[in-house]
């Protein structure tokens, strides 16, 4: 995952413009430099030794790496990967945006992307957790600090299935890697995971998932929470609820890692599922990923609002499997909950401390 | 010129830029033509376009209009610099008038989106270029684009009733009306269609819409030779059938497709003709039978009626463009010599000549296209990092263009001339080109609108 992007891969682009028809950032901004085709032209120019101006930096940094362009590209070009490569190249030249610098400093100082100084495990209601276990629940920064009830619910539900947590978890590295900066917390987390002897790492965050799965050495199995829940669905003895929800595919769960069915099967074991206008491979990005939420908050919100237009009529509750998507969709006025919130509602008796309704 | 960017910003605010990266992104379309604009402007209405054109006229600065930049001939590439007008943001559907069978739209509307909107009312806008999901209707009009279904429904020009056009002096005119027919004076609409932004800038279009057919049938017939296939097409036409699509895929194309997808449900034993008929259940059944009879020389004939079955075959047809790079990642398709047209009866001769030309150049070529209107897409593939191969490719493309003209054809049947094919205009038109030059001078005496294109 290091090194410069391959010029040959960029030359495969015949500039047919198919990506223009789906790129959610281009849809909002309209400049050619904000479509995948434009970004590849800029990346190619930089590889040729060209100097990046403000528009070039904005072009490369405004991509959420949602990957819908890759899905549809007739030449099968992996634009998100090339764009991350170009981001590494510009970061390598010392060109970091204010948002990137802030993020890097925060993670170095606090071990989390939010710059929170308090205990990362403050959400935990369990008094004791085992040092060693078959599986580890990797909570992630956002869930640990912003959605403590999600992490608490998750652990209370999966702990009996042989799961522990890391005593000293740090940022998985995703926010830095996605914007082209090396992540030093990876080695720290690796040691922690090894110490538990776990063969499986479970996470309920799309950013953590793709990073653990694709940027960490393949020493352990990585499961998304939805896959783990699906595997244990009969153990959970869920009751059915007479409601209809929809599901938003986080880009880094769906398109990037092809986890489309497990969350849907869990939802359908509980209640009715009605799909959004664009779903699965074609799901539109919420606007939160790839550093866009921190770098371009207005753009990010506009994309989230656009995504809310895809809701089926008469369905309000959006279930998702990524705290960043959940936060962005809710900030845009949506009613998004984590999959675990729905599961918690369907348990024979509510898990302790989880409250009575799915909240956010 | 120093403060032109300030003047442009006064007109459109931050929708004007002179940033070098943004200019780079607008320096190309899907062809090999390059040209860096000095400014990129994204106007939102005819008034802004008019003001920009007046400003450019005062300073003698070129103005090049552009839709989605999906063109294959450099038509929207600003080869003389100046102002690049990105009209793709003018994408509102202005009026849907079902009673009078028409819509009015802005030029940036994407045909696929228009068709989504029309579908729920039982109508469609028939011209269907391969780029329907991303090109703009403004660009389609400027190039008289077409597609598979045009053999029955006609090309873009047959669907344009009226255009709002900003002229070189900033005047805003209308070229037609709401009328489905009119015999009052010169046909300015048809003059503008296909003019590639050299005569005016289209800021709105009134389009005729067509009721969606209730049924479709697809007939896939495999022939021992392309010539036998072309004969069958002519015979079907003579029997009074107007297919809604009539495509040819030569055996090289089929071989490549089958390597990409071994489960492909297409006969592989010869050159393939795909006929589609649309209409009612009864009419399509009858016509499919007639076509089957016209295909007496075929090795095999298969009639598809199921939606999925047909969709699978069309999906394979759409895969053609990108197929070879999937087969060999080092080869890329280069769009040169890709859009020639000849009378239908000459298609087999053209295919044979393209085969020989490609063989002599040592370049793999797939031949496919809209045989029903004589439009052949020759797809040439090279390793684009190899300089020598570029030379060979350019020579082969040149010979393909000359072969088409030799057979009484055209160097471009639906993609346009732009710069890529400008040098053939003299040969194709003779004195007719002089008249085009006179028209251009009369309408745009300063020559500020998309200069350097069409061989004018």
Q: Which 3 state secondary structure label does DSSP give A354?
A: coil
CATH class held by domain B93-211: alpha beta
- Give the mean pLDDT of chain B: 94
DSSP A355: -
Share of chain B above pLDDT 90, in %: 84
- Give the mean pLDDT of chain A: 92
Residues of A with CB under 8 A from a CB of B: 8, 11-12, 14-18, 20-21, 30-33, 37-38, 41-42, 45, 52-56, 59, 74-76
Beta bridge partners of A277: none
Q: Which two tokens stand for residue B299?
A: 């090795």
- Contacts (Cβ under 8 Å, ≥6 apart) of B396: B337, B357, B358, B360, B361, B363, B380
Give the dihedral sign, CA A140/A144/A145/A146: positive
Is residue A354 over pLDDT 50?
no
pLDDT in tens, B77-130: 999 999 999 999 999 999 999 999 999 999 999 999 999 999 999 999 999 998
**Does the beta carbon of B159 lie under 8 angstroms from any beta carbon of chain A?**
no
CATH class held by domain B213-324: alpha beta
Q: Name the residue in chain B with its Cα closest to that of A46.
A: B21
pLDDT score recorded for residue A1: 43
The angle that helices B46-59 and B4-12 make with each other, rounded to 10 degrees, is: 170
- CATH 3.40.50.10540 corresponds to the domain B328-417+425-445: no
Interchain contact, A32 vs B25, CB within 8 Å? yes
What gap in Å lies between CA A32 and CA A40, rounded to an integer?
A: 11
Instruction: Break chain A into its structural domains and give their ranges.
Output: 7-92, 135-231, 236-345
Place of tokens 């598809």: B304
CA dist list (Å): A48 to A44, A91, A93, A96, B4: 6, 17, 15, 20, 30
DSSP states of B390-454: HHHHHHHHHHHHHHHHHTT-BS-SSS--TTTTGGGHHHHHTTHHHHHHHHHHHH-TT--BSTT-T
B93-211 matches B328-417+425-445 in fold: no
Which of B 202-261 lie inside 8 A of A, CB atoms? none
What gap in Å lies between CA B382 and CA B361, rounded to an integer?
A: 11
Classified by CATH at the fold level, domain B4-86 comes out as: 3.30.43
pLDDT score recorded for residue A4: 67
Interchain contact, B134 vs A30, CB within 8 Å? no
Q: Name the residue in chain A with its Cα closest to that of B326.
A: A75
- CATH 3.40.50 corresponds to the domain A236-345: yes
Interchain contact, A32 vs B26, CB within 8 Å? yes
pLDDT in tens, A271-285: 999 999 999 999 999
Instruction: Break chain B into its structural domains and give their ranges.
Output: 4-86, 93-211, 213-324, 328-417+425-445
Contacts of A8 in chain B (CB under 8 A): 385
CA dist list (Å): A109 to A104, A139, A170, A265, B307: 9, 19, 11, 40, 59
Q: Which two tokens stand for residue A110?
A: 């606090």
pLDDT score recorded for residue A7: 82
DSSP A66: -
Q: Which long-range contacts (CB under 8 A, 24 or more apart) does A111-119 make?
A: A111/A170, A111/A171, A111/A185, A111/A188, A112/A141, A112/A144, A112/A145, A112/A170, A112/A171, A113/A141, A113/A142, A113/A171, A113/A175, A114/A141, A114/A142, A114/A145, A114/A146, A116/A141, A116/A145, A118/A145
Average pLDDT for A285-293:
95
Please state which CATH number belongs to domain A7-92.
1.10.1060.10
**CB distance B104 to B63 below 8 Å:** no
A7-92 matches A236-345 in fold: no
pLDDT in tens, A248-271: 999 999 999 999 999 999 999 999
């Amino acid at each position: 995952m290091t090194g410069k992007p391959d010029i040959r891969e960029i030359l495969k682009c015949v500039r047919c413009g198919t990506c223009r028809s789906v790129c959610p950032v281009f849809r909002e901004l309209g400049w050619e430099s904000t479509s995948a085709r434009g970004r590849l032209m800029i990346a190619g120019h930089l590889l040729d030794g060209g100097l990046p101006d403000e528009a070039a930096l904005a072009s490369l940094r405004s991509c959420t790496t949602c990957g819908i362009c890759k899905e549809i590209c007739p030449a099968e070009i992996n634009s998100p990967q090339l764009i991350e490569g170009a981001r590494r190249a510009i970061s390598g030249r010392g060109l970091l945006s204010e948002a990137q610098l802030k993020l890097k400093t925060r993670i170095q100082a606090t071990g989390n992307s939010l710059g929170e100084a308090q205990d990362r495990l403050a959400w935990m209601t369990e008094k004791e957790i085992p040092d060693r276990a078959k599986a580890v629940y990797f909570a992630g920064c956002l869930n640990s600090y912003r959605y403590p009830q999600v992490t608490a619910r998750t652990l209370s539900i999966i702990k009996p299935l042989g799961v522990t947590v890391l005593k000293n978890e740090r940022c998985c590295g995703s926010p830095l890697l996605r914007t082209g900066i090396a992540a030093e917390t990876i080695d720290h987390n690796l040691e922690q995971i090894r110490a538990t002897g776990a063969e499986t790492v479970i996470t309920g965050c799309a950013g953590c998932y793709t990073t653990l799965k694709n940027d960490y050495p393949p020493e352990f199995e990585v499961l998304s929470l939805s896959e783990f829940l699906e595997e244990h669905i009969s153990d959970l003895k869920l009751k059915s609820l007479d409601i209809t929800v929809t599901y938003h595919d986080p880009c880094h769960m769906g398109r990037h890692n092809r986890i489309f069915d497990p969350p849907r099967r869990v939802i359908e074991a509980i209640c009715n599922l009605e799909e959004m206008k664009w779903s699965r491979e074609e799901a539109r990005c919420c606007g939160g990923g790839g550093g866009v939420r921190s770098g371009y908050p207005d753009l990010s919100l506009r994309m989230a609002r656009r995504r809310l237009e895809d809701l089926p009529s008469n369905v309000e509750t959006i279930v998702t499997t990524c705290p960043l998507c959940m936060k962005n969709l809710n900030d845009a006025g949506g009613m998004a909950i984590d999959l675990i919130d729905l599961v918690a509602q369907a348990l024979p008796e509510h898990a302790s401390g989880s409250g009575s309704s799915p909240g956010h | 010129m120093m403060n032109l960017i300030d003047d442009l910003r006064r007109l459109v605010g931050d929708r004007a830029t002179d940033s070098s990266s943004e200019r780079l992104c607008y320096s190309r379309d899907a062809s090999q033509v390059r040209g860096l604009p000095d400014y990129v402007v994204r106007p939102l209405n005819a008034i802004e376009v008019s003001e920009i054109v007046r400003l450019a006229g005062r300073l003698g600065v070129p103005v090049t209009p552009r839709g989605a930049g999906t063109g294959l001939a450099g038509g929207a590439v600003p080869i003389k610099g100046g102002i690049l007008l990105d009209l793709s943001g003018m994408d509102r559907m202005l009026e849907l008038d079902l009673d009078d069978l028409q819509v009015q739209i802005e030029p940036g509307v994407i045909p696929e989106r228009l068709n989504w909107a029309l579908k729920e009312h039982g109508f469609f806008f028939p011209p269907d270029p391969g780029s329907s999901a991303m090109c703009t209707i403004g660009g389609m009009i400027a190039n008289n684009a077409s597609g598979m279904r045009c053999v029955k429904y006609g090309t873009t020009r047959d669907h344009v009733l009226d255009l709002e056009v900003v002229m070189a002096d900033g005047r805003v005119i209308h070229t037609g009306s709401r009328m489905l027919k009119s015999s009052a004076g010169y046909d300015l609409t048809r003059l503008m269609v296909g003019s590639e932004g050299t005569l005016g800038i289209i800021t709105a279009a009134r389009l005729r819409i067509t009721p969606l057919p209730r049924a479709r049938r697809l007939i896939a017939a495999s022939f021992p030779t392309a010539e036998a296939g072309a004969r069958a097409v002519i015979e079907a036409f003579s029997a009074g059938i107007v297919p809604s699509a009539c495509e040819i895929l030569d055996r090289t194309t089929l071989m490549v497709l089958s390597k990409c997808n071994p489960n492909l449900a297409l006969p592989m034993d010869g050159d393939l003709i795909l006929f589609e008929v649309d209409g009612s259940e009864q009419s399509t059944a009858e016509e499919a039978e007639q076509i089957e009879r016209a295909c007496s020389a075929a090795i095999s004939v298969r009639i598809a009626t199921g939606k999925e079955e047909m969709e699978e075959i069309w999906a394979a047809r759409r895969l053609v463009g990108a197929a070879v790079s999937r087969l060999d990642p080092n080869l890329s398709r280069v769009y040169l010599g890709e859009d020639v047209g000849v009378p239908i009866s000459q298609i087999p001769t053209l295919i044979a000549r393209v085969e020989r030309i490609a063989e002599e150049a040592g370049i793999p070529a797939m031949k496919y296209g809209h045989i029903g209107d004589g439009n052949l897409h020759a797809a040439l593939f090279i390793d684009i990092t190899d300089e020598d191969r570029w030379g060979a490719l350019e020579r082969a493309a040149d010979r393909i263009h000359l072969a088409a003209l030799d057979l009484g054809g055209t160097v471009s049947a639906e993609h346009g001339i732009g710069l890529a094919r400008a040098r053939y205009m003299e040969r194709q038109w003779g004195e007719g080109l002089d008249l085009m030059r006179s028209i251009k001078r009369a309408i745009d005496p300063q020559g500020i609108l998309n200069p350097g294109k069409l061989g004018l």
